[in-house]
Amino acid sequence: MEETEMYFEGDDVLKGLPSPSELHINTALNNVAIAWKQESSRFAAGRAFPEVPVDKQNDSYHVWERGDFFRDEAEEVGPQSKTPLQNLRKSTDTYTCKVYGIGGFVSEQDMANQDVAANKEQKLAQANITKLLIRREKQWVTNFFTTGKWTGSTTGVDLVGGVDFVQFSTLATSDPIVVIRAQINQLALLGVDPMDMVLTIGPAVWLILQDHPDFLGRYEQTQAAIMNTTLIAAVLGIREVVVPFGSETTSREGVADASTTMAYIIGKHMLLSYSPRAPSIDQPSAGYTFNWSGLLGAGEDGIRTRRVPSDDPLGVKVIGNMAFDHKLTSRVCGVFFQNAVA
Please, what's the b/e burial string for 323-342 (b: 16 or more CB within 10 A of its CB; e: otherwise)?
bbbbbbbbebbbbbbbbbbe
CA–CA separation, 247 vs 266, rounded Å? 8
pTM: 0.84
CA distance 101 to 49: 23
Q: Determine contact, residues 293/302, Cβ cutoff 8 Å.
A: yes
- Residue 257 phi/psi, 5-degree rounding, is -55, -40
pLDDT of residue 110: 84
- The pLDDT score that the predictor gives to residue 333 is 97
SS3 148: coil
pLDDT at position 34: 57
CA distance 75 to 35: 68
Beta carbons within 10 angstroms of residue 46's beta carbon: 19
Nearest-angstrom CA–CA distance, 114 and 315 = 13
Contacts of 214 (CB under 8 A, 6+ apart): 174, 175, 176, 177
Report whether 331 contacts 283 (CB < 8 A): no
CB atoms within 10 A of CB 228: 11
3-state helix, strand, coil in the chain (%, to 5): 25, 25, 50
For residue 337, how far is the Cα from the chain centroid? 18
Measured CA angle at 306 (ends 315, 327), to 5 deg? 145
Strands 262-264 and 247-249: antiparallel
Residue 261 near residue 249, CB atoms below 8 Å: yes
Please identify, in words, the CATH class of the domain defined by 49-65+90-338.
alpha beta
Residue 248 φ/ψ, nearest 5 degrees:
-140, 155
Collapsing DSSP to helix, strand or coil, 171 comes out as coil
- pLDDT of the chain along its 342 residues, tens only? 455 454 445 545 445 545 555 444 554 545 545 556 788 899 999 999 999 999 999 999 999 898 898 999 999 999 989 999 999 999 999 999 999 999 999 888 888 887 766 688 888 889 999 999 999 999 999 999 999 999 999 999 999 999 999 999 999 999 999 999 999 999 999 989 999 999 999 999 999 999 999 999 998 777 776 889 999 999 999 999 999 999 999 998 888 888 889 999 999 999 999 999 888 877 889 999 999 999 988 888 999 999 888 877 788 899 999 999 999 999 999 999 999 999
Q: Are 199 and 181 in contact (CB under 8 A)?
A: no
